[in-house]
Amino acid sequence: MKPLTAFPDVQAAAARVLREALAGRPEPHAAGATVGTRVPTDRSPETPRLPYVLVRKDSDLPHSSMANSRCTLRCTVWHVDEDQAHDLAMLCQGLWIVHSGDVIRGVRPATGPLPAVDPDTGIDLSTFTVLANVRPVLL
């Protein structure tokens, strides 16, 4: 009989990885960064809540067994200017790439970081995606 397995919440795990790894980082562009899985509803040019790091799972990729799952994770960073948005996005990407843990077993770059401007607020941002391998849990 095959073991019963499932995949944990990779989006929450990816946000936790960045939240813990960014805490206390010495880089000025990382100071005070908030990590979440939803865009704050009260953000505006007057109260931008910067820097802000958004983590979302974009897609699950097909897998041939329940021993591994692959997904695309997207990270979007809003910051006070485009250079700091890029630098913090690069740091976040690097932190995911070197991470291996209970949920996320490995990460490789996919796209970006790509610069943009938030159309709702005019705040500079940078976004990238990675491909993550997710470790199953026994049920």
d(CA 19, CA 24): 10
Of the pLDDT bands very low, low, confident and very high (cuts 50, 70, 90), residue 47 is low
Query: Within 10 Å of residue 9's Cβ, how many Cβ atoms?
Result: 13
How do residues 55-112 score in pLDDT, each as one tens digit? 999 987 666 667 778 899 999 999 999 999 999 999 999 999 999 999 999 999 999 9
State the sign of the Cα–Cα–Cα–Cα dihedral 12, 90, 118, 25.
positive
Domain range list for the chain: 1-38+88-139
